[in-house]
């Protein structure tokens, strides 16, 4: 009798675990999202398994004519948004036979194999195989068998772009923001993950690593952009690997004497489209601290800054080496 009762109690728990285990609503335990919560000190735990590189070649396993538009859209959003960070995704051609040549993207619409990564961060380097395709990342473009709401024309682009930004975040080592100890996510489908890790980073409701919107589990209505928190966390993890490079202003902005500087005498205004060479010095909240390396900018901003260093909000720039 006793044994039977415990089995009855376990059954719903098993069902819950099966439901919650995958990255985005699938039904299998073989999921990227079953990884343990991250070590306490890896960039204050919003990362797990930071790579020892900052450039990531990716390729498509299938060359179907009907997905060209969505493949181009994924490439566009990834280049645009991760261009605000020190990491670089490149390639986006067809995969070769060499499994180690690039991170392989498998496009598959399946109720069980939801969009996911083979593993998080550098652990992803061991790919998985499904239907003869050896993949590192799974994306879905048609949503007929999984997350059907995304097949509606008004949601499809949101789903595709948000999920791509999310899975590429896992590839870099990011964990789920809705598991943050201060998470306000109260959707029952995510309940087991709430409070999953503690971090010095504030809870970021707008993160691409957060499935929640206003407390509910969704990605159909999520943003197509990296949040300020996503960008600064990625700088914190990969900025040192970036070192020196170039920045181009994509939104009118200023070089600031401190992250909080609002007075005109402490802000050096830059024109949209202008670019300059810099060295990365560190991440402070949502700003990064840089050393200016180009004489004209140093001269133009000298009276407003301190020792040719400046704070900038990286979401307003595109970066390259």
DSSP state for residue 209 in the 8-state scheme: T
How many residues make contact with Zn ion (CB under 5 A)? 1
Minimal distance in Å, beta carbon 137 to Zn ion?
Answer: 11
State which residue, 169 or 239, has the beta carbon closest to Zn ion.
169
**β-strand partners of 289:** 282, 311
Query: Judged by CB under 5 A, does residue 185 bind Zn ion?
Result: no
Taking CB under 5 A as the binding criterion, the range among 20-28, 132-140, 232-240, 293-301 that sits at the site for Zn ion is 20-28
State which residue, 23 or 107, has the beta carbon closest to Zn ion.
23
DSSP state for residue 61 in the 8-state scheme: S
Taking CB under 5 A as the binding criterion, the range among 22-30, 68-76, 182-190, 272-280 that sits at the site for Zn ion is 22-30
State which residue, 73 or 174, has the beta carbon closest to Zn ion.
174
Nearest CA to 147 out of 61, 62, 22 is that of: 22
Tell me the helix, strand and coil percentages in the chain, rounded to 5.
35, 25, 40
Minimal distance in Å, beta carbon 23 to Zn ion?
Answer: 4
Q: Give me the DSSP letters along 246-277.
A: EEEESSSEEEESSTT--SGGGEEEE-TT-EEE
- Given a contact cutoff of 8 angstroms between Cβ atoms, the answer to whether 109 and 144 are in contact is yes
State which residue, 51 or 116, has the beta carbon closest to Zn ion.
116
Taking CB under 5 A as the binding criterion, the range among 3-11, 19-27, 148-156, 294-302 that sits at the site for Zn ion is 19-27
Sites for Zn ion among residues 23-82 (CB under 5 A): 23
State which residue, 225 or 287, has the beta carbon closest to Zn ion.
225
Minimal distance in Å, beta carbon 199 to Zn ion?
Answer: 17
Minimal distance in Å, beta carbon 179 to Zn ion?
Answer: 10
Taking CB under 5 A as the binding criterion, the range among 15-23, 192-200, 235-243, 298-306 that sits at the site for Zn ion is 15-23
Minimal distance in Å, beta carbon 174 to Zn ion?
Answer: 9
Q: If you count them, how many residues does the chain have? A: 321
Closest residue to Zn ion in the complex (CB) = 23
Taking CB under 5 A as the binding criterion, the range among 17-25, 177-185, 218-226, 300-308 that sits at the site for Zn ion is 17-25
Nearest CA to 263 out of 250, 254, 251 is that of: 254
DSSP state for residue 285 in the 8-state scheme: T
CB atoms within 10 A of CB 132: 6
Q: Rounded CA gap, 252 and 37, in Å? A: 39
- Given a contact cutoff of 8 angstroms between Cβ atoms, the answer to whether 58 and 131 are in contact is no
Nearest CA to 53 out of 137, 125, 138, 119 is that of: 125
Q: Rounded CA gap, 74 and 71, in Å? A: 5
**β-strand partners of 29:** none
State which residue, 23 or 105, has the beta carbon closest to Zn ion.
23
State which residue, 189 or 248, has the beta carbon closest to Zn ion.
189
Query: Judged by CB under 5 A, does residue 139 bind Zn ion?
Result: no
State which residue, 19 or 281, has the beta carbon closest to Zn ion.
19
Q: Applying CB under 5 A, which residues contact Zn ion? A: 23
């Amino acid at each position: 009798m006793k044994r039977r009762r415990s089995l009855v109690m376990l059954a719903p728990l098993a069902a819950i675990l099966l439901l919650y285990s995958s990255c985005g609503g699938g039904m299998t335990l073989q999921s990227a999202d079953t990884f343990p919560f991250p070590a306490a000190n890896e960039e204050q735990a919003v990362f797990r398994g930071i790579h020892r590189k900052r450039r990531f070649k990716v390729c498509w396993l299938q060359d179907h004519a009907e997905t060209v538009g969505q493949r181009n859209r994924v490439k566009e959003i990834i280049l645009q948004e991760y261009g605000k960070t020190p990491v670089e995704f490149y390639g986006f051609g067809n995969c070769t036979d060499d499994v180690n040549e690039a991170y392989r993207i498998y496009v598959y619409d399946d109720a069980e194999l939801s969009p996911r990564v083979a593993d998080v961060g550098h652990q992803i380097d061991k790919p998985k195989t499904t239907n003869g395709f050896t993949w590192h990342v799974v994306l879905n473009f048609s949503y007929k068998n999984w997350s059907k709401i995304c097949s509606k024309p008004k949601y499809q682009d949101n789903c595709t772009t948000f999920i791509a930004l999310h899975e590429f975040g896992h590839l870099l080592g990011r964990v789920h923001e809705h598991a943050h100890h201060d998470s306000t996510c109260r959707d029952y489908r995510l309940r087991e993950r709430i409070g999953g890790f503690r971090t010095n980073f504030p809870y970021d409701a707008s993160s691409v690593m957060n499935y929640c919107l206003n407390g509910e589990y969704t990605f159909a209505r999520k943003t197509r952009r990296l949040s300020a928190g996503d960008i600064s966390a990625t700088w914190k993890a990969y900025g040192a690997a970036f070192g020196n490079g170039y920045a181009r202003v994509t939104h009118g902005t200023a070089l600031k004497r401190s992250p909080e500087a609002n007075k005109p005498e402490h802000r050096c205004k830059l024109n949209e489209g202008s670019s300059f060479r810099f060295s990365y010095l560190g991440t402070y909240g949502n700003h990064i601290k840089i050393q200016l390396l180009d004489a004209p900018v140093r001269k133009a901003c000298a009276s407003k800054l301190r020792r040719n260093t400046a704070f900038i909000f990286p979401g307003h720039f595109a970066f390259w080496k």
